[in-house]
Amino acid sequence: MLATPAAPPLPSLVSARSLRSQRIGRAVRLWVPAGILIALLGICFVLPLIITLPSSTAGDILYNNEAPFSPGHLLGTNVQGVDIFSQLVSGGQVTFEISLSVTAIGIVIGGLLGVTAGYFGGWVDAVISRVLDILLAFPALVLALVIAEGLGPSELHLIWALAVFAIPAQGRVARGATLTLRGLSYMTAARLSGTRPWRIIARHVLPNIMPGIVTFSLLGIGIVVIIEGAIDFLGYGIQLPQASWGSMITQGQNIESVQPEYVLIPSIALLITVVALNMLGDALRERWGVQ
Amino acid sequence: MALVQQIQLQREAGARDRARRLTGSPTLRVAGRRLLAAIPVLIGVTFLTFSVMSLLPNDSAQAILGLNASPSAVAALNHTLGLDQPFWQRYWHWLVNVLHGNFGTTLQGASVNHELAIHVPITMELLLYALVVSVALSVIVAALAARRPNGIADRIIAAISMLGLSTAPYAFAFLLIIVLAVKLTWFPVLSGAVAGPGSFFKNLTLPACAIGFGLFSVYTRLLRADMVDQMQREDYIVTAKAKGVPPWRVLLRHALRNSLFTLITVIGLNLGGLVGAAAIIENIFSVQGIGNDLITGISNHDVPLIEGITLVFALVTVFGNLLADLAYAVLDPRIRYGSSNS
């Protein structure tokens, strides 16, 4: 996972100016997506605490179908008169809560399984790898829909259903990264000096596979955001009247030919979030030299 | 004594060599090991599916007979369907039937085999269409981008592929519908049945675009990164350039050819996820494929149908992984499969 970054060109051959512009370019590629994500999180979680937004679940039918930028409604209102900006904020909260917890569960459980498999090898690896293969071959969509149908749709059920798909993905990455470390000399040195396996994992393996796991997780959060939206979109996720980006797209679908903005607004929110996550992942990968 | 021992040792070594030569083809060995490993995975997936299905309320008999059926009639039908048996027996029964090629019957009384035979080819057509077009496009576009890294073409292509990577397929599907179906009326909003090449393109182009945009972006990014990487560090590229091979030829014959191996692996690994993506897109365009069938099956609590479809999904995933591994072993002789990492 960790590769040596390409050797920098000899200093004498590169002008100070192009070096500086490279440095600025790297900083921009890192901090612009990070800033967008921080702003989105701020809008979703902090803004409602500071100012009172209109209700995201109920609206005044007399003020329905208001255009964007109408007084009191930044992005207008939908057919039922519900404020679209409030819906976006509330849907964003749900999206971030679900995608962050799913990824956290994936990192902890999947990472633990993957590192264990990669470090110990042998039958431990064989058993864990097969279990991960099974989870990977089991379609996440089926699980999420069946859980929603059988146990009733809820945010918590959605989190566990999607975690079943995040765990094997993280496990694979952690196992692969651990395998590449296994033969390195500092690992052998640690083993020869009598360090216990768990201590080696905590002190030598985890810090070294972290860059790979973090960059992969950023991509993973983006994927979870899209899949979560898909499940809401099919009507098996977050239930009305609670808003979510996926269900906003579904509702907008009915009137899309007349007023495409009902579909476009949540789609753009989704797009910005995932683009920022992917760009941040790319920038960190470049900075840490992760393949 | 020592001589006899030596001869015996040599004989044993010879036998080992012969045995190794027979089983020695690394490709065959990998194939065999992967096929064996696929069996427990498939059994595990069916078992998991079966366990998950027990979350659904056990109301198949009631659904078949209608709400007014008497409890005794429901119990009798449950008995005939075998739904009153314990979990293990039902699973065993289903597994034995599947191994005999019988997937059971849907709630409507049709055979699941028949349902799969109708719907699987439609999904396959759709996915193949999306896959072929996106691979062909991404090869061309990635070569354009890799020709001058950080040039104008590269930057534009990077932006487009970042967009494609981050777009939710269902949101993109609506954009396609609004622009190409509603405003321009080039394509129908809902896809009809496919009969002949003309209706194939008319009905499946929009769904294939919705699936293919993401694929195209992933493949383009992958190919471009791999080719740029090779152009910068591999010795055979330096050799080719030094002996005066034109830049385009170096890119296509030396870099692209190697990058295609990586691409094939990724395609194989992604096949499983592709079927899942197809489910949502088929639902939007009402393509009568296996994904749409799955969603109907889940809302009807049609357990045998869901199990059959999940098994197809799992088969595609497992064999996609298998193909990816094999492609790697066959195409890239640099890969050495050690016994330690499998």
Read off the pLDDT of residues B60-98 as tens digits, 9 standing for 90 and up.
Answer: 667 777 777 777 777 777 777 777 777 788 888 888 888
Residue type at position B310: T
- A124, A117 contact by CB (below 8 A): yes
Q: How many whole angstroms separate alpha carbon B294 and alpha carbon B243?
A: 57
* pLDDT exceeds cutoff 80 at B21: no
What are B154's two structure tokens?
């590269």
Tokens 């201590």 sit on residue:
A199
Q: How many whole angstroms separate alpha carbon B262 and alpha carbon B253?
A: 15
Question: Which residue of chain A has the CA closest to B293?
Answer: A142
pLDDT in the model for residue B339: 40
* pLDDT exceeds cutoff 50 at B341: no
Judge whether A14 is closer than 8 Å to chain B, CB to CB: no
A278 → closest Cβ in B162, B299, B342: B162
Judge whether B178 is closer than 8 Å to chain A, CB to CB: yes
Q: Which residues of B205-231 are buried (b: 16+ CB within 10 A; e: fewer)?
A: bbbbbbbbbbbbbbbbbbbbbbbbbbb
Residues 6+ apart with CB under 8 A from B12: none
- pLDDT tens digits, one per residue of B142-165: 999 988 888 898 999 999 999 998
Residue type at position B143: A
SS3 (DSSP) at B111: strand
**Under an 8 A CB cutoff, do B168 and A253 touch?**
no
Predicted model pTM: 0.82
- pLDDT tens digits, one per residue of A28-80: 888 999 999 999 999 888 888 888 777 777 766 666 767 777 776 667 777 67
Q: Concatenated DSSP letters for A51-93?
A: SPPPPSS---GGGTTPPTTBTTBTT-B-TT--BHHHHHHHHHH
User: Measured between beta carbons, which residues in chain B are less than 8 angstroms from residue A230?
Assistant: 168-170, 280
Split at pLDDT 50, 70, 90, the class of B15 is low
Judge whether A154 is closer than 8 Å to chain B, CB to CB: no
What are A228's two structure tokens?
């979560």
Measured at the CA of A278, the angle between CA B320 and CA B222, to 5 degrees, comes to 45
* pLDDT exceeds cutoff 60 at B270: yes
* pLDDT exceeds cutoff 70 at B44: yes
Judge whether A127 is closer than 8 Å to chain B, CB to CB: no
Alpha-carbon distance B298 to nearest alpha carbon in chain A (angstroms):
6
pLDDT in the model for residue A116: 93
Q: Is the dihedral of CA A47, A48, A51, A55 positive or negative?
A: positive
**Under an 8 A CB cutoff, do B162 and A249 touch?**
no
**Under an 8 A CB cutoff, do B178 and A256 touch?**
yes
- pLDDT tens digits, one per residue of B118-127: 888 888 889 9
Q: Average pLDDT of chain A?
A: 83
* pLDDT exceeds cutoff 60 at B336: no
* pLDDT exceeds cutoff 70 at B215: yes
* pLDDT exceeds cutoff 70 at A92: yes
Judge whether B80 is closer than 8 Å to chain A, CB to CB: no
- B174, A256 contact by CB (below 8 A): yes
SS3 (DSSP) at A155: helix
**Under an 8 A CB cutoff, do B299 and A179 touch?**
no
B41 → closest Cβ in A137, A146, A271: A137
pLDDT in the model for residue B23: 57
Query: What average pLDDT score do residues B41-66 get?
Result: 78
Judge whether A134 is closer than 8 Å to chain B, CB to CB: yes
What are A59's two structure tokens?
């609206």
B294 → closest Cβ in A142, A257, A263: A142
Alpha-carbon distance B20 to nearest alpha carbon in chain A (angstroms):
22
Q: How many whole angstroms separate alpha carbon A276 and alpha carbon A236?
A: 27
Question: Which residue of chain B has the CA closest to A226?
Answer: B168
Query: What average pLDDT score do residues B324-337 get?
Result: 65
What is the DSSP secondary structure assignment for residue B195, as one 8-state letter? -
Judge whether A233 is closer than 8 Å to chain B, CB to CB: yes
Q: Concatenated DSSP letters for B40-93?
A: HHHHHHHHHHHHHHTTS-S-HHHHHH-TT--HHHHHHHHHHHTTTS-HHHHHHH
Residues 6+ apart with CB under 8 A from A225: A95, A99, A270, A273, A274, A277
A143 → closest Cβ in B42, B52, B171: B52
Reported in sequence order, the residue ranges of chain B that DSSP labels E, i.e. its strands, are none
- pLDDT tens digits, one per residue of B318-329: 888 888 777 776
Split at pLDDT 50, 70, 90, the class of A11 is low
Percent of chain B with pLDDT over 70: 84
**Under an 8 A CB cutoff, do B44 and A260 touch?**
no
Judge whether B163 is closer than 8 Å to chain A, CB to CB: yes
Q: Average pLDDT of chain B?
A: 80
Query: What average pLDDT score do residues A142-167 get?
Result: 85
Split at pLDDT 50, 70, 90, the class of A275 is very high
Q: How many whole angstroms separate alpha carbon A80 and alpha carbon A291?
A: 49
Split at pLDDT 50, 70, 90, the class of A110 is very high
Predicted ipTM of the assembly: 0.80
